[in-house]
Amino acid sequence: MDNRETILQVKNLNKVFGEEVKTQVLFDLNLEIKKGEFMSLIGPSGSGKSTFLNILGALERPTSGEIIFEGRNINTLNDKDLARFRNQYLGYIFQFHYLFPEFSALENVLLPYLINHSVKTPEIIKKAENLLGMVELSGFEDRKINKLSGGQQQRVAIARSFINDPKIILADEPTGALDTSTSRAIMKLMREYNNESGTTFIIVTHDRNIAGSTERIVELVDGKISKDFSPKEIGEAQAWKELERHACTDCDTLEK
Ligand SMILES: Nc1ncnc2c1ncn2[C@@H]1O[C@H](COP(=O)(O)OP(=O)(O)OP(=O)(O)O)[C@@H](O)[C@H]1O
Ligand SMILES: [Mg+2]
């Protein structure tokens, strides 16, 4: 039994794209996510993972259904309140970073803070520096984003997602463009942060090795939840079986 409190609840969620030609992408999804959960959302390309994550992250609105954050239905918020809600409670790590290439690593980490504050206090600068230290980028504070490697940029994106102490971090293929050892280091970093801060993580991936390192795996196929399990509960061997048809990197070293 998972007796942690619920942080996010999805009720009968549907998403249809298009006005004249309608395409339904998500079908009647129901899901309950607990506070502090470290979960992954896996599924083939086009199954609706990013669409679902964007709706969970209040970046997109559902066609019907409810997203309830700590007991509050966020669909009823207007655009301005929704923007404030996102900034206050959510952090995002997306594959294409959305970092500002002409700004330094430190300035990028501070951006979510500056949306709601007009001045940078010495405390927040120190916090941003500490976060860069945590992702092993001390000494790179003043380096422009376009002068950093892909893995370094990804780590800036992670540090940035932590700056406002979000309650939920949403990550879309956070390791998608990285080599295996960098991917593992990034996953480890996120897990450590999850353990220390209790922040909930929802990580989209199509890679079963990444999914296998999370505490709960939800599989989406054709816009429907087809599996929802904990690798720890069902055992590693069974978990690999459940994930058999998913892509994986570096299978030789992890699969026996
Ligand atoms: N804005 C949009 N308008 C119309 N259709 C869309 C839109 N965004 C996504 N889709 C469609 O919805 C389906 C699900 O897309 P989504 O990006 O959620 O998939 P995904 O599981 O994230 O795939 P991938 O692993 O390739 O990133 C796809 O068929 C896609 O073409
Ligand atoms: Mg996607």
Ligand 1 centre and the CA of 206: distance in Å?
Answer: 14
Residue with CA nearest ligand 1 atom 3: 17
- Output the CA 21–ligand 2 centroid distance in Å: 22
User: What's the confidence (pLDDT) of residue 256?
Assistant: 39
- From 42, 47, 63, give the residue whose CB has the most ligand 1 atoms within 8 Å, as the site to mutate: 47
CA pair distance 5, 25, nearest whole angstrom: 29
User: Strand pairing partners for 227?
Assistant: 219
As a three-state string, the secondary structure of 74-138 is HHHCCHHHHHHHHHHHEEEEECCCCCCCCCEHHHHHHHHHHCCCCCCCHHHHHHHHHHHHHCCCC
CA gap 180, 4 in Å, rounded: 32
148-203 pLDDT tens trace = 998 899 899 999 999 999 999 999 998 877 788 888 888 998 999 999 999 999 99
Interatomic CA distance for residues 13 and 33, integer angstroms: 14
Tell me which residues have their CB closer than 6 angstroms to ligand 1: 17-18, 23, 25, 43, 45-51, 206
Residue 184 tokens, joined: 């593992």
Looking at residue 245, what is its pLDDT?
79
- Going by alpha carbons, the residue nearest to atom 9 of ligand 1 is 51
pTM: 0.92
Ligand at shortest distance from the CA of 60: 1
CA distance 205 to 113: 28
Structural domains of the chain, ranges and CATH numbers in brackets: 6-254 (3.40.50.300)
Distance 46 CA to ligand 1 centre (A): 5
**Nearest atom, ligand 1, residue 220 CA:** 21
User: 160: Cβ–Cβ under 8 A, 6 or more apart, which residues?
Assistant: 91, 99, 108, 109, 111, 112, 131
pLDDT of residue 94: 83
Give the residue ranges of the chain where pLDDT is below 70: 1, 95-97, 249-256
Order of strands, sheet of 90-94, starting from the edge strand that comes earlier in the sequence? 90-94, 168-172, 200-205, 38-42, 216-221, 224-229
Dist. CA 207 → ligand 1 center (Å):
17
**Cα distance between residue 119 and residue 44, in whole Å:** 44
Report yes or no: 197 and 228 within 8 Å, Cβ to Cβ.
Answer: no
Q: Cα of 50 to ligand 2 centre, how many Å?
A: 4
